Amino acid sequence: MDTNRARPMTVGELSRRTGVPVKTLREYTDLGLIYTLGRSPANYRLFDADALWCVRFIGELRGLGLTVAEIRELTTAYLDDTGPPTGPRMTELLHRSRERLEQRIAEQQRTLRRIEEFEAEHRADLGCEGDTEFCWAGNPRGCATRA
């Protein structure tokens, strides 16, 4: 018999086994993403091996860019036997995550272009063409020179 499966874990042990902070595990439990077996006589939350799978699956979904709210929505839909299948909902959530990621990439690319433009415009001031101190145009204090 697998003794790890039969023996309940505290939130601390679940944290050690998954690498997820205790605070996050408590949040997931409070949101209904991870179910507990109840509490110990010392009032510790107790988890079984199924919680390991849940935490890893949540981590996988978070790694795909889903928000905790989206994961909760998906979990709620999964548990609703009368609702539509969760596959199409998962597809929709992954599409939404992809859109968010593409927007972040586009913003990062815009920032990269601004850096390149700034460097090109201020090449001489940045010390790329000599050993000069950067002087921001229009600086009300003027530009100091180093001795």
**Tokens linked to 141:** 């204090």
Task: Please write the tens of the pLDDT for every residue from 89-143.
Answer: 899 999 999 999 999 999 999 999 999 998 888 776 666 555 556 666 677 776 6
| Residue 137: predicted pLDDT | 67
Cα distances from 128 to residues 50, 61, 110, 118, 143, in angstroms, run 58, 44, 23, 13, 18
Residue type at 147 in one-letter notation: A
Mean pLDDT of 73-94: 84
CA angle, residues 45, 34, 86, in degrees to nearest 5: 165
Judged against a pLDDT cut of 50, whether residue 19 lies above it is answered with yes
Residue 72 neighbours by CB under 8 Å, 6+ apart: 31, 32, 33
Residue where the block lists tokens 């018999």: 1
- Does 135 or 26 have the greater pLDDT score? 26
